[in-house]
Amino acid sequence: MRILFILSGEIWTWLISRCIVFGPNVKGICWYPNMHADTWYRLTPLPYQIPFKLFPYISIVIATLAIPILYLDDNTIHTLAICTLVSEHTFLPIFVAHKHSEALITTWAALNTATKILLLYMLYHHEYILATVSTVFQTVLMLWFFFTQLYIVIKQPIQKQQPPIQERHQRVITV
């Protein structure tokens, strides 16, 4: 019976988050992160980039890592895990599209990271080992999003257009 609770929680958070971002329509529910060559993520030089081909699978990884947390029989942890899962699934399309202000996206990433750290503390305190390990991986992923956003805000603004093409010049050979 617990597996039905986990599946319903996972599907519910995914549907709610897609409806928050795109509205209640089929196109939004079936959204797929397309990281073609002209996206800001591929045009902006960022350190420690996740390969763009892995981006479509991040939401699946987030959902899979939440299974051990949802399997626990603790209402406080469940509530925090579900709220965090909705926030993470909502954050991912907004991070990919980058239509909102950098400060908002950075603050959101910081809140997701802080919530994951709080959840990690609660799981460690209750000695839920498997759920703690999966939350560590989720926390690392959220820290990556936060530090990437912080890097964009502080050091490297995003590039939404390709740099201008330089004309070819003849080389002068000197001996």
- Between CA 152 and CA 69 the distance in angstroms is 32
DSSP string for residues in 139-165: HHHHHHHHHHHHHHHHT-----SPPPP
| Helix (H), strand (E), coil (C) string for 118-141 | HHHHHHHHCCCHHHHHHHHHHHHH
Question: So what's the pLDDT on residue 37?
Answer: 81
Residue 156, pLDDT score: 82
Instruction: Show pLDDT as tens, one digit a residue, over the chain (175 residues).
Output: 788 988 999 999 999 999 999 988 888 888 888 888 888 888 888 888 989 899 889 999 999 999 999 998 888 998 999 999 999 999 999 998 888 889 999 999 999 999 999 999 998 888 888 899 999 999 999 999 999 999 999 998 877 766 666 777 777 777 6
Q: What whole-number distance in Å separates Cα of residue 68 and Cα of residue 8?
A: 14
* 116 neighbors 139 (Cβ within 8 angstroms): yes
CA separation for the pair 44, 160 (Å, rounded): 8
Closest CA to 115 of 91, 94, 97, 150: 91
- The pTM of this model reads 0.85
Give the separation between CA 13 and CA 9, rounded to whole angstroms.
6
User: Mapping DSSP to helix (H, G, I), strand (E, B) and coil, where does residue 45 land?
Assistant: coil
From 159, 161, 142, select the one nearest 150 (Cα to Cα). Answer: 142
pLDDT of residue 80: 92
Secondary structure tally for the chain: helices H, strands E: 8, 0
Q: What is the pLDDT of residue 163?
A: 63
* Angle (nearest 5°) at CA 42 between 108 and 95: 15
